[in-house]
């Protein structure tokens, strides 16, 4: 297994550019791009599995924190606050799930973690193909059944988000649309509101592991990639009308499947 690379200043421009490309891809489908960034951290920048997950999680935190106020012109904080029961419902599960997922990630053997990551990338590819464009409508459940389903869904999403170091929007948005009947634009902002505290809990658990030192050793690299991701997400959001989802989603799903194969081989 390779050692953590010593990132030189020459790598920062590459981190910014790759972050921008990934952010643009994510922005085109309303995500931060972390699901594409993780395989790149492993294959291109040669970070080990857990260190790549932690870097991805920290980068995702910066991107999501920037994205929430960016969306305030479309979905105001007042509108977001009015949906606090949904946010609390999902957080009741996702906060616990984030801790559990990070705990599992720190205990898994490197080979097993790579294979878990690969399997989850395949799962995300399937969601992009079959669930990402789900239209809003009447919620699947109401009352206590909806609350219980929300806690369970939040827990599962929290676990997956911690294992991959992602914000979880690819899972949260379909959940918000299908389970709670949220409008797709509102669902995008709600997913960010749920993701922020969920990622903080995951990072808190990761901070207890020695691999967390990767952030201190590579903080310039982290900021460069985060800055590129934010720029890319902004560009991708403005290119939405130029690329049809029926073309884009299969392409991105294919990229994830190729990435999954490459990550699996690291195991």
Note the pLDDT tens digit of each residue in 167-207.
888 888 888 888 998 887 788 889 889 999 999 999 999 99
pLDDT at site 260:
87
pLDDT at site 1:
44
DSSP class of residue 183 equals: -
What is the pLDDT confidence band of residue 136, given thresholds at 50, 70 and 90? low
pTM for this prediction: 0.84
**Mean pLDDT along residues 230-255:** 75
What is the pLDDT confidence band of residue 137, given thresholds at 50, 70 and 90? low
SS3 141: coil
Q: Which stretch of 6-20, 41-55, 170-184, 208-222 has the lowest confidence by average pLDDT? A: 6-20
Q: Which stretch of 94-98, 126-130, 206-210, 224-228 has the lowest confidence by average pLDDT? A: 126-130
The CA–CA distances, whole Å, from 70 to 65, 75, 149, 212, 254 equal: 9, 9, 30, 29, 29
| Long-range pairs, 130-133, Cβ under 8 A, ≥24 | 131/174, 132/29, 132/170, 132/173, 132/174, 132/245, 132/249, 133/245, 133/249
* Domain residue spans of the chain: 11-266
**What mean pLDDT is reported for the chain?**
85
Residue 85 pLDDT > 90: yes
What is the pLDDT confidence band of residue 211, given thresholds at 50, 70 and 90? very high
Residue 233 pLDDT > 50: yes
What is the pLDDT confidence band of residue 256, given thresholds at 50, 70 and 90? confident
The alpha-carbon radius of gyration of the chain (Å, integer) is 17
Higher-confidence residue: 31 or 98? 98
Segment 13-26, tens digit of pLDDT: 999 999 998 888 77
Segment 106-127, tens digit of pLDDT: 998 888 988 999 999 898 888 8
Higher-confidence residue: 230 or 251? 230
What is the pLDDT confidence band of residue 241, given thresholds at 50, 70 and 90? low
Q: Distance between CA 211 and CA 129 in Å, rounded?
A: 34
Q: Are 133 and 249 in contact (CB under 8 A)?
A: yes
pLDDT at site 7:
44
């Amino acid at each position: 297994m390779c050692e953590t690379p010593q990132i030189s200043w020459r790598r920062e421009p590459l981190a910014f550019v790759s972050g921008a490309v990934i952010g643009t891809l994510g922005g085109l489908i309303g995500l931060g791009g972390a699901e594409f960034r993780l395989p790149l951290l492993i294959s291109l920048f040669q970070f080990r599995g857990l260190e790549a997950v932690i870097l991805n999680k920290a980068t995702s935190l910066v991107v999501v924190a920037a994205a929430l106020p960016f969306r305030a012109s479309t979905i105001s904080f007042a509108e977001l606050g009015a949906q606090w029961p949904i946010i609390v419902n999902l957080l009741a599960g996702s906060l616990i799930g984030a801790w559990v997922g990070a705990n599992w990630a720190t205990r898994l053997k490197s080979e097993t973690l790579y294979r878990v990551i690969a399997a989850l990338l395949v799962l995300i590819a399937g969601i992009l193909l079959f669930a990402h464009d789900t239209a809003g409508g009447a919620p699947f459940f109401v009352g206590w059944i909806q609350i219980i389903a929300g806690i369970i869904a939040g827990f599962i999403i929290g676990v997956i988000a911690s294992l991959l170091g992602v914000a979880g929007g690819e899972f949260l948005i379909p959940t918000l649309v299908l389970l709670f009947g949220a409008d797709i634009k509102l669902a995008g902002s709600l997913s960010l509101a749920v993701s922020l505290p969920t990622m903080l809990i995951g990072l808190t658990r990761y901070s207890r592991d020695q691999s967390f030192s990767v952030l201190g050793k590579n903080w310039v690299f982290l900021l460069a990639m985060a800055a590129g991701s934010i720029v890319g997400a902004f560009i991708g959001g403005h290119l939405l009308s130029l690329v049809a989802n029926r073309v884009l989603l299969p392409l991105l799903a294919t990229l994830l499947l190729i990435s999954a194969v490459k990550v699996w081989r690291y195991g």
